[in-house]
């Protein structure tokens, strides 16, 4: 789970993470903690879409127009937005709608941004995503894939950037997500309750320690947190220089073919994730081991399965990976 989140932060185009697991296993805690590992971002001041001051792909039309008119853009640093999407959210709240107050008091049509606008260049978290309305999940996945949100409402037409890492969590006991929606998430992590008594005791002790004095606890781990933060920033910068050999790309596609994975999303995401992992490990070339570390996270939710079965635990993927990436074959 932690690795999947870190890799999506290094390369948001991996396509988000779906985290399914038992209740009380710290899913939400881990997801909310990832925001603290991210460096501050520079945004255009007084802009409702967290627009980038110089990158056109991450900029709203208002900022673009101001730039084209030769105006200077004031900037401010902000923390990476971490937006929670509540289960009861309406489509208008998610996408944005007409500002009713301004329409009534001033008689002008203006756009009131939704959660997708606030999440631009940040993280959008949906707890219990398997209980969210399917059409809302569709909207989220479409925006996450295209990086844009288009709103057509009562004579208003607005298109704004919506680049975010989509993170969903849920408990499989409450129902699985539809396969075609599940396939749109880049990675899938499965969390099981720890069975080892000594590990459980360690978790309980850490939790009690944090409850009794949170500040001391934060101080204790500050150095490790800073190291991880710097490692992520370095990997983000190095990502564009990482290469993956043709024969390894062929092997990834061979694994997807043998597992009968529908479509090509599995191939694309595995290639991206392997590069992100190599950058995280401070390498310039993807190696077999990098692929092995990420491929189960990328493929386990894409396998065709019996309707009565839950998502593959990863055993099937591991077996095929071992047979295809036979080390003797590579040497």
Contact 9, 33 (CB under 8 A): no
CA distance to 84, 88, 91, 137, 138, per residue, from 95 (Å): 14, 14, 6, 12, 12
> Which CATH entry fits the domain spanning 2-40+79-211: 3.40.50.720, 3.40.50.300, 3.90.1150.10, 3.40.50.280?
3.40.50.300
pLDDT tens track for 217-227: 889 989 999 99
Integer Cα distance of 53 and 85 in angstroms: 27
Q: What is the average pLDDT score of the chain?
A: 85
Burial state string for 117-145 with b = 16 or more CB within 10 A and e = fewer than 16: bbbbbbbbbbbebbebeeebbebbbebbe
Structure-block tokens of residue 132: 């969210």
Superfamily of segment(s) 239-330: Magnesium chelatase subunit I, C-Terminal domain (1.10.8.80)
Say if residue 4 is exposed, middle or buried (CB neighbours under 10 Å; 0-12, 13-18, 19+): buried
User: Which pLDDT score, from 0 to 100, does residue 65 have?
Assistant: 84
pLDDT tens track for 137-163: 888 888 888 888 888 877 778 888 888
Q: What is the pTM of this model?
A: 0.85
Say if residue 242 is exposed, middle or buried (CB neighbours under 10 Å; 0-12, 13-18, 19+): buried
Quickly state the pLDDT bin for 330 (edges 50, 70, 90).
very low
**E-only strand ranges, 75-195:** 75-78, 82-84, 96-98, 111-113, 122-127, 148-153, 156-161, 164-170, 187-191
pLDDT tens track for 128-144: 888 888 888 888 888 88
% of the chain exceeding 90 in pLDDT: 32
Taking residues 64-81, what's their average pLDDT? 86
User: Which pLDDT score, from 0 to 100, does residue 285 have?
Assistant: 94
Catalytic residue among 265, 272, 300, 302: 265
User: Which pLDDT score, from 0 to 100, does residue 306 have?
Assistant: 57
Taking residues 90-109, what's their average pLDDT? 77
Taking residues 21-45, what's their average pLDDT? 85
- Does the annotation mark 265 as catalytic? yes
Domain ranges, ordered by start, for the chain: 2-40+79-211, 239-330
């Amino acid at each position: 789970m932690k690795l999947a989140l870190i890799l999506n932060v290094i390369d948001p185009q991996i396509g988000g993470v779906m985290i399914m697991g038992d209740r009380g296993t710290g899913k939400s805690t881990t997801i909310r903690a990832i925001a603290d590992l991210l460096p501050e971002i520079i945004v255009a001041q007084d802009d409702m879409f967290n627009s980038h001051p110089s990158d056109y792909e991450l900029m709203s039309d208002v900022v673009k127009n101001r730039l084209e008119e030769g105006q200077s853009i004031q900037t401010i640093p902000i923390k990476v937005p971490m937006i929670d999407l509540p289960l009861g959210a309406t489509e208008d709240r998610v996408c944005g709608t007409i500002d009713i107050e301004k329409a009534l008091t001033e008689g002008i049509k203006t756009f009131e941004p939704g959660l997708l606008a606030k999440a631009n260049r940040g993280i959008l978290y949906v707890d219990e995503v398997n209980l969210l309305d399917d059409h809302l999940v569709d909207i989220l996945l479409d925006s996450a894939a295209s990086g844009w949100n288009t709103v057509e409402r009562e004579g208003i037409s607005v298109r704004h950037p919506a680049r975010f890492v989509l993170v969903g969590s849920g408990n499989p006991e409450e129902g699985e997500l539809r396969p075609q929606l599940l396939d749109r998430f880049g990675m899938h992590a499965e969390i099981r309750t720890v069975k080892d008594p000594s590990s459980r005791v360690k978790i309980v002790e850490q939790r009690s320690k944090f409850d009794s004095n949170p500040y001391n606890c934060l101080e204790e781990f500050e150095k490790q947190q800073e190291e991880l933060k710097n490692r992520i920033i370095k990997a983000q910068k190095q990502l564009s220089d990482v290469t993956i050999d043709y024969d390894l790309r062929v092997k990834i596609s061979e694994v997807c073919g043998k597992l009968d994975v529908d479509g090509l999303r599995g191939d694309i995401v595995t290639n991206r994730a392997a590069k992100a992992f190599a950058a995280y490990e401070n390498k310039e070339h993807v190696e077999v081991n990098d692929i092995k570390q990420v491929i189960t996270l990328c493929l386990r939710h894409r396998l065709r399965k019996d309707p009565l079965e839950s998502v593959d635990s990863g055993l099937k993927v591991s077996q095929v990976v071992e047979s295809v990436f036979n080390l003797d074959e590579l040497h």
